[in-house]
Amino acid sequence: MDAAADRIRELKHGHRIAFIASTMTLSLALMKALVGYMFDVDVLIADAFHSGADVLAISASGFGLWLATRKKSTRFPYGLYRAETLATLLIGGGIAWAGVELLRNGLQKLFHTPTVRGFPTIPVVVSVVSIILALILSTKEKKVGKQINSQSLLINARESFLDIFVSVVVLLGILLGYLRIPFVEGGIIIGISLLVFWLGLKSIWISLLVLMDANLEPELRSEIQEKVNQIYGVKGVGEVKIRQSGPFRMVECKILTSSTLPLYKSHELADKVEDFIEQSYNHIESVFVHVEPAREEVVTAIVPVRNIEGMDSKVYGHFGRAPYFIILKLHDDDAEIEDFYMNEFLQEKRHIGIKVIKTVISHKLDILFTSRIGELSFYMLKENFVDIYRIKEGQSVREILEQYWCGALKKVTKPTHPLEEAQVENSE
């Protein structure tokens, strides 16, 4: 609930910024038009039309962010987040139109030599004010756009940044017009108009891709897949899908896990993956995880032994106090020794088994073969999705593997001895 409330607050903040920006831009457009008309400065009037297009774009962005704050309903179970994408589409159209208008104005000015009676002080002041306001708006929109991950605000920020250059061109045009220098003003305006037009087309294209659920973030997809695959209990990750919906992302993925994992443990693992993704990445609105058993499964097993003689190593009778451990990779009816681990905690007085588990857990264990295990170690292993099988002390590793493949071993469903007994053993 708190996360949802934070998202709504962010969207409302973005909406306020868009409203303030549109109000300021509209005021500036009206001022440019009025001053340009009064002092007969055509380039300033053209810039006023350009600012008017910005007003439409920013207003569309604010409207989209406002719609995104509406609550989910039966008719719109996924919310109205994509309204912001539609607004971005309109923004792209507005920017492209502004580029065309600017190009037309540049072509008109290319061979036109203006006549100016005196130094245009007020038009120059208006142009300077326009540059300053464009810089302020661009900085603020970019900051808030990144904060709430609003594509429309980020596009507006880029457009406001371009407005700085447009306003500089207009200022130069006014001064060059006063000096009666032809060609330069029109040429610069044409160059910038092409840049603005390209930005508008790019915004339209990205919006269409978002609406068609295209994969726009392959790096994020790969990163999520890599990190989820490191979560204990996950045997593989596939079909990670990221759907962009306005300022948010919706993630779907499939994870593979042990075929012996109980249903309730599978749900726990899915919840763990969902919580990890939502907490690790901002602006992911929802995560859906589908769990499937791994078909070609390689199982990692650990056996407490008294000596190191490969597959002929003998089982030690107590997990935590075993001098050595053999870590195995099991596949079908085949096994290979991955590693040996010497118990470095034998001189410790308390919780030896837990310390061993914390050390070997990096191997992503699936199975423990043991004859005795205490409460704390048992529950810690079960929390990490490890199956425990009961074996007899003195057996060889080769013998217990044959029994495992034949299905002769029984799972341990509770600790073999209580915590009090383990504490007595530790104190002896």
Cα dihedral sign, 378-380-381-385: positive
pLDDT value at 183 more than 50? yes
Q: Of 364 and 188, which is predicted with more confidence? A: 364
pLDDT score of 427? 42
What number does CATH give the domain 299-427?
3.30.420.130
pLDDT at residue 419 in the model: 58
**In this predicted structure, what is the pLDDT of residue 315?**
92
User: What pLDDT is stored for residue 319 in this prediction?
Assistant: 85
What pLDDT, on a 0 to 100 scale, did the predictor assign at position 117?
Answer: 62
Taking residues 212-237, report their average pLDDT. 86
State the average pLDDT over residues 166-176: 79
- Is the pLDDT confidence value at 181 over 60? yes
Model confidence over 303-320: pLDDT tens digits?
999 998 999 999 998 888
Architecture of domain 2-211: Up-down Bundle (1.20)
What is the chain's mean pLDDT, rounded? 81
pLDDT above 70 covers what percent of the chain? 91
pLDDT of residue 423: 47
Q: pLDDT of 29-40, one tens digit each?
A: 899 889 988 887
CATH domain 218-293 topology: Alpha-Beta Plaits (3.30.70)
Quote the CA–CA distance of 51 and 33 in Å, as a whole number.
10
Whole-number pLDDT of residue 197: 85
| Most confident option among 61-75, 97-111, 262-276 | 262-276
Instruction: Name the band, by pLDDT with cuts 50, 70 and 90, for residue 67.
Output: confident
Q: What is the mean pLDDT of residues 53-69?
A: 75
pLDDT at 327 (0 to 100): 92
Listed by start position, the domains of the chain span 2-211, 218-293, 299-427
**What pLDDT shows up at residue 425?**
47
Closest CA to 399 of 299, 297, 338, 309: 309
> What are the pLDDT digits (tens) for 346-360?
887 777 888 888 888
pTM attached to this predicted model: 0.63
Q: What is the pLDDT of residue 428?
A: 38
Q: Is the pLDDT higher at 88 or at 268?
A: 268
Tens-place pLDDT, residues 247-288: 678 899 999 887 777 788 888 889 999 999 988 887 787 899
Tell me: pLDDT of 171 over 70.
yes
> Which tokens belong to 183?
């060609």
What pLDDT, on the 0 to 100 scale, is given for residue 114?
Answer: 59
